[in-house]
Structure 1
Amino acid sequence: MSAPNKSYDPVEVEALKPDVIERQRDEALAAIAAAGSLDALREVKVAHAGDRSPLALANREIGALPPHAKAAAGRLVGQSRGAVNKALAARLAELEAERDERVLVEEAVDVTLPHDRAPAGARHPLTTLAERIEDIFVAMGYEVAEGPEAEAEWFNFDALNIGPDHPARSPQDTFFVEGAARDRDSGLVLRTQTSPVQIRSMLDREPPIYIVCPGRVYRTDELDATHTPVFHQVELLAIDKGLTMADLKGTLDHMVQSLFGEGMRTRLRPDYFPFTEPSAEMDMVCFRCRGESVGNPDRPCRTCSNEGWIELGGCGVVNPRVLVACGIDPEEYSGFAFGFGIERLLMFRHQVADMRDMIEGDVRFTRPFGMEI
């Protein structure tokens, strides 16, 4: 920058000539008006309003003018720069408004598009059915009891009056984790039923006892359409004074009516189980045909095969030997027990033809059942 020169005529400074300043202003205003995007406008701002723009360089030359000439030159350059800055602000507002309108159109959300591109999951029907059964008995005053899946032989067999020579205790029927050792009379098995939970409950609690025991059990069955080596059971146990088979029958009737609707009834057929005496198989009337398919060829029923009844599970009065093994006086207390497989019940309720569908994890099987909370 040159030093002040009082004898220098400012008219002859090229950068400060009025026609030059006006031309630079007009060029800047034309470039601003032609900017079609925010990026283009930023480039125009650098070229015409930045530190190295013609008007900025002309403004620097004012310092070299004599004092009496600075005012006119400053006013001329200042007005031009002000016009350029005002045009930049106006064009910036216009381009930002255009951008916002474009974004609203281009990024608009079409609420009519499918919303389930990531479909919601569904709880497994075995879980929801087990919880529904639990709710039925909890409403009747029962408690939910649980126990370990790797169980001692004593809890799984001996306490249930299943002797050492019983076929169920062979490796062909039971998964053994550890055999009996010298310092331990009882081996370790994967429980074959949830009945050990009943034994543990009778050992830990004082009568009266009313519990329902859901859980996973294991048996050495081949995996096919009607069998699986890992399945689920629900068992119930009631220990109190004066309980009889009539109480068991009433409990079973209430359960099937809660699960399948009013009018359902049950029947008991004599059977044998080591842990109950007397023992019975419980059948319920077919919930599809309500028994009307029996002897009626015009109305066949695939669910019960035209028999009118469906076998659900085993039940009976708790064997006194089981009570004694758990420290309960059979002369004072009696009880009843009942157990059935949840997979079998699910097949009945929803016409599931192949049990393998329940364990393969295919969402096409679980999703139709939906989600229950």
Structure 2
Amino acid sequence: MTRESWEQRLRGLEDSAVASVSGATDLESLEAVRVDLLGRKGRLTGLLKGLKDLTIDDRKTLGPQANRLRDEVARLIEDRRTSLERAAIDAELASVSLDASLPPRDLGLGRRHPITKTIEDMAGILSRLGFAWADGPRVESDRYNFTALNIPEDHSARDMQDTFYLENGQLLRTHTSPVQIRYLEKHAPPVRIMAPGRVFRHEAEDAGHAAVFHQIEGLYVDRGVTMADLKNTLSVFMKGLFGAQTKIRMRPSYFPFTEPSAEVDVQCLLCKGDGCSACKQSGWMEMLGSGVVNPAVLKGVGLDTEIWSGFAFGVGVERIAMLRLGIPDIRMFYENDLRFLRQVGA
């Protein structure tokens, strides 16, 4: 191939390429043009391969011209492809009756589960009182769940009727109190923590009981902590949950890990203390257990009980949620009835 014939073919391709690209009426015909010009056996590709038959000086002069034409053809093809794709979309939209002013469909956004919302509310109140969030494992050892909390070996809570034991000798925690022990082992007082979490009890389920439920434990250890500090904290906590007019009372009780211990009642939210069927005519509703941390528990984690003292309390989340929302049956929280969850979810 001579230089003159090569240049003639290049000019011919330059004239026909623009016409071929602009004449493509759809993507299929445009692809055929691309293959004809730039494919492995395309005309422009073949012309570039023909440079090897020319002298070095001719290749230096004519090669850049062919490369510029190749780049220009590629740009024209891409522009034409974009134009054809846009035209195809416009044609499809034109064939569909679409009213852009119509309101969108309701996406049916989810809500937070009432138990989740109740935990957030309870934790929010306690955090404002200075309690930090602490967490621990759900699968526990006998030591953390019982022994370290001063629960004797003959205590009924250790029976298989009340506790889920695993084959490896461990168990599903029956309360979140083990978190307190784990925290005190790693952190020197003063400490002020709350331990929300799921707990497990081997018991029959009914309107007021569940085998799996949630608790929030509170623990405060410092110098000179007394029962008065506990009462003041719980009074603020209950008022934050049920309103500023909420009244509480404390009744002597027994828990192995606190001494003295107290059950805490809230004045009935329905009858305001006058007596009704919900509070069994007493005017009060049992709410939680609490007390001053037993010195044996503090000694077990290496604390000097002549210096440090504290209080602890534990409350069921589901019970609080049932009272705040007026839910008569604890099982409703876990039946996954969307009508119920839409009504009480947040």
State the TM-score, normalizing by the size of structure 2: 0.71
Correspondence 1:209 to 2:198: no
Q: Deviations over 1:240-289 (max 9, x none)?
A: 01111100000000001111111112100011100000001000112233
The residue aligned with 2:337 is: 362
Larger Rg: 1
Bigger mean CA deviation after superposition, 244-253 or 221-230: 221-230
Residue among 193, 197, 201 paired with 2:179: 197
Alignment of 1:224-263 (within 5 A): 224-263=206-245
**Alignment partners' CA distance in 2, 1:258 and 1:111:** 44
Alignment of 1:261-280 (within 5 A): 261-280=243-262
Q: Deviations over 1:89-145 (max 9, x none)?
A: xxxxxxx9xx98x949821145357x32x4111111101110111111111111100
Alignment of 1:333-372 (within 5 A): 333-371=308-346
Alignment of 1:321-336 (within 5 A): 321-336=296-311
Q: Which amino acid aligns with 1:351?
A: G
**Alignment partners' CA distance in 2, 1:178 and 1:209:** 35
Correspondence 1:135 to 2:124: yes
Contact 1:303–1:348 (8 Å) recurs in 2 = no
Contact 1:156–1:192 (8 Å) recurs in 2 = yes
**Alignment partners' CA distance in 2, 1:347 and 1:302:** 16
Q: Which amino acid aligns with 1:326?
A: V
The residue aligned with 1:284 is: 266
The residue aligned with 1:308 is: 283
**Alignment partners' CA distance in 1, 2:251 and 2:312:** 15
Rate the CA distance shift 1:302–1:351 in 2: closer, same or farther, 3 A. farther
Bigger mean CA deviation after superposition, 231-240 or 345-354: 345-354
What percent identity do the matched residue pairs reach? Answer: 47
Correspondence 1:107 to 2:98: yes
Contact 1:283–1:311 (8 Å) recurs in 2 = yes
State the TM-score, normalizing by the size of structure 1: 0.66
Q: Which amino acid aligns with 1:226?
A: G
Query: SS at 2:144's partner residue?
Result: helix
Q: Which amino acid aligns with 1:157?
A: F
The residue aligned with 1:123 is: 112
Question: What's the offset of the Cα at 1:302?
Answer: 4.9
Q: Which amino acid aligns with 2:112?
A: R
**Alignment partners' CA distance in 2, 1:234 and 1:337:** 11
Contact 2:175–2:200 (8 Å) recurs in 1 = yes
Question: What's the offset of the Cα at 1:290?
Answer: 2.0
Rate the CA distance shift 1:111–1:307 in 2: closer, same or farther, 3 A. farther
Alignment of 1:81-96 (within 5 A): none
Bigger mean CA deviation after superposition, 170-179 or 259-268: 170-179
Q: Deviations over 1:122-179 (max 9, x none)?
A: 1111011101111111111111000000001000000011111111111111001145
Q: Which amino acid aligns with 2:141?
A: A
Q: Which amino acid aligns with 1:139?
A: R
Q: Which amino acid aligns with 1:106?
A: S
Aligned residues: 259
**Alignment partners' CA distance in 2, 1:112 and 1:146:** 45
Bigger mean CA deviation after superposition, 345-354 or 273-282: 345-354
Residue segments in structure 1 that go unaligned for 5+ positions in a row: 1-41, 43-95, 180-186, 295-300
Correspondence 1:148 to 2:137: yes
Alignment of 1:31-46 (within 5 A): none
Q: Which amino acid aligns with 2:123?
A: E
**Alignment partners' CA distance in 2, 1:272 and 1:339:** 13
The residue aligned with 2:157 is: 168
**Alignment partners' CA distance in 1, 2:118 and 2:142:** 29
**Alignment partners' CA distance in 1, 2:145 and 2:96:** 69
Rate the CA distance shift 1:158–1:103 in 2: closer, same or farther, 3 A. same
**Alignment partners' CA distance in 1, 2:320 and 2:339:** 20
Contact 2:325–2:344 (8 Å) recurs in 1 = no
Query: SS at 1:290's partner residue?
Result: coil
Q: Which amino acid aligns with 2:284?
A: W
Q: CA RMSD in A?
A: 2.1
Q: Which amino acid aligns with 1:229?
A: A
Residue segments in structure 2 that go unaligned for 5+ positions in a row: 1-24, 26-86
**Alignment partners' CA distance in 2, 1:109 and 1:353:** 47
Question: What's the offset of the Cα at 1:220?
Answer: 0.3
